[in-house]
Structure 1
Amino acid sequence: METIRYGPEPSQLAELTRPSGRPKGVVVVIHGGFWRSRYDLSLGRPLAASLAAEGWAAWNVEYRRVGNGGGWPGTFDDIAAAIDALADVDDLDTGSVLTLGHSAGGHLAVWAAGRARLAGPPWGRPRVAVTGAVSQAGVLDLAAAHDANLGTGAVQDFMGGSRDDRYRLADPAAMIPLDVPVRCIHGTEDDVVPLSQSTGYVERAVRAGADAELTEVAGDHFVLIDPASAAWARTLQILTALG
């Protein structure tokens, strides 16, 4: 595992784990935790290790979060910069780059897959193209999550106030349809992020002509990031099909 900085702030770093042979592609791992600073990239390390064992190059991203300089717009700046930094990594083919995020990380994974649709700077001209996204119980409708007070005010803290025009740039639901495939996987017993966050996104995306699918699995919010679980094995299959 190699730690690479993409900016001067303490949280602007990523950990690159390479497989033993030629990578199938790159998976950008974006951890969750309702965008709050008490959760960090250690959540993604077990997934990165599993991905490398399966032949992927894993790019486990840290980013500024609420409580350490993140939120709107810093977190978005960091996710964009972290993915673009892959262009500067030696001996790494970025022809296939998939984003994989859990919970709040699912929001950022799908946002990153669609940011090329945001005209102009600071986010709309990616150096590295995302070719597909996998959301693990992602918060994919920020507006609905705001109204439902998901995470006891997590969206309000992240976006810094009431719903306004910024959600057009920040909310995956507002960016439908994307030009790349989106795959959602969600536990049927999830009581942290409701299943409706995934079902609603996929239904709207399909109606708009996008390539989006939902896989429902048994288990709670956290079974998806347990490398020993059937849910993670299914996630690996989804990544392979996308790659």
Structure 2
Amino acid sequence: MSEDRSVLSREARDPDEELRYGDHPDQVIDYWHAKEYRPLVVYVHGGFWRPEYDRMHARPLGEALSDLGWPVLSLEYRREPGDPDVTTSDIRTALDSLPGLVDVHAGYVLVGHSAGGQLVLWAAATLNPVRLRGVIALAPVADLLMADRMGLDDGAVQDFIGSGVRNDLDPVHLPPSIAPVSVIHGTADTRVPITITESYFTAHPTARFIRVEGAGHYELIDPLTDAWHDLTAELTRLTGHQT
């Protein structure tokens, strides 16, 4: 069964603001405001760390969560094959810059999809960001070695890290996050098989593992699907705010 990719090209409302955390064109954040004062959702998009996939495909998610009452920050970051430290440096810099860009007193939940799921798990385990209330990883590439052995997306892991092994970037090898972690994964995901998350959960059994029966890879970020409600339910649980 082929994956429904329609959310990646769906039209959505532009963000209310565009914030910058650096001089590079990719060091930018889309910001959707919300009518309520709530913890922020800080979102890191996926795309197997490849330059051709940017934050634009996350705009339906940003619009929908904002309409439900959460302010949303969608981070862009540099994606340079073979230089993963450029990417992680941008995630670190963006998170460090948040207090100077927006009101973070209510805290925030870090959400990432696919490769973005790897990045948020890495960030939570290594950076311990201030005011982080929780992490939600959606179909994350949470075991880089396993993903590499599977050859996901025509060798995406080796294209990302350059060559060899980078356990310092691999969530399955990193210490558990101080903040609570929820991992949501569809059982019908053909892009990042659920066995990747099962491996992460074996290494980090204190994480909350939510299996979404019959859901594919992109349904978790698509506001028009049933699987979307698993994301909003976790945001409600972590922030204490109903949709």
- Kept in 2, the 8 Å contact 1:205–1:212? The answer is no
Q: How far 1:189 sits from its partner (Å)?
A: 1.0
- Kept in 1, the 8 Å contact 2:27–2:90? The answer is yes
Task: Tell me, in whole angstroms, the C-alpha distance in 2 between the residues paired with 1:79 and 1:93.
Answer: 17
Q: Which TM-score applies when normalising by structure 2?
A: 0.87
Read off the aligned partner of 1:149 and give its amino acid letter: G
Task: Tell me, in whole angstroms, the C-alpha distance in 2 between the residues paired with 1:242 and 1:218.
Answer: 25
Match of 1:5 in 2: 20
- Kept in 2, the 8 Å contact 1:3–1:14? The answer is yes
Question: CA 1:116 to 1:50, structure 2 compared with 1: closer, same or farther past 3 Å?
Answer: same
- Give a deviation string over 1:58-87, Cα, whole Å, max 9, x none: 0101000135xx742000001111122211
Identical-pair percentage: 37
Match of 1:45 in 2: 59
Q: How far 1:239 sits from its partner (Å)?
A: 1.1
Match of 1:182 in 2: 181
Any stretches of 5+ residues in structure 2 without a counterpart? 1-15
Match of 1:235 in 2: 231
Task: Tell me, in whole angstroms, the C-alpha distance in 1 between the residues paired with 2:136 and 2:223.
Answer: 16
1:86 equivalent among 83, 90, 98: 98
Match of 1:122 in 2: none
Q: How far 1:151 sits from its partner (Å)?
A: 1.5
Task: Tell me, in whole angstroms, the C-alpha distance in 1 between the residues paired with 2:117 and 2:107.
Answer: 18
Matched, 1:34 2:30: no
Matched, 1:105 2:116: yes
Task: Tell me, in whole angstroms, the C-alpha distance in 2 between the residues paired with 1:94 and 1:202.
Answer: 31
Read off the aligned partner of 1:107 and give its amino acid letter: Q
Q: Which TM-score applies when normalising by structure 1?
A: 0.87
Question: CA 1:192 to 1:29, structure 2 compared with 1: closer, same or farther past 3 Å?
Answer: same
Task: Tell me, in whole angstroms, the C-alpha distance in 1 between the residues paired with 2:186 and 2:164.
Answer: 29
Q: How far 1:221 sits from its partner (Å)?
A: 1.0
RMSD over aligned CA atoms reads 1.6
Q: How far 1:98 sits from its partner (Å)?
A: 1.0
Question: CA 1:211 to 1:94, structure 2 compared with 1: closer, same or farther past 3 Å?
Answer: farther
Q: How far 1:130 sits from its partner (Å)?
A: 2.4
Read off the aligned partner of 2:74 and give its amino acid letter: N
Match of 1:73 in 2: 85
Match of 2:7 in 1: none
Read off the aligned partner of 1:73 and give its amino acid letter: D
- Give a deviation string over 1:85-130, Cα, whole Å, max 9, x none: 211024x13442111111111111111111236xxxxxxxx4x342
Task: Tell me, in whole angstroms, the C-alpha distance in 2 between the residues paired with 1:15 and 1:150.
Answer: 28
- What is the aligned residue count? 224
Q: Which runs of structure 2 are paired with 1:117-196 in the superposition (5 Å)? A: 126=129, 128-163=130-165, 167-196=166-195
Any stretches of 5+ residues in structure 1 without a counterpart? 118-125
Read off the aligned partner of 2:149 and give its amino acid letter: D
- Give a deviation string over 1:119-148, Cα, whole Å, max 9, x none: xxxxxxx4x342211111110011211222
Match of 1:201 in 2: 200
> Helix, strand or coil: the match of 2:24?
coil
Task: Tell me, in whole angstroms, the C-alpha distance in 2 between the residues paired with 1:233 and 1:87.
Answer: 29
- Kept in 1, the 8 Å contact 2:104–2:131? The answer is no
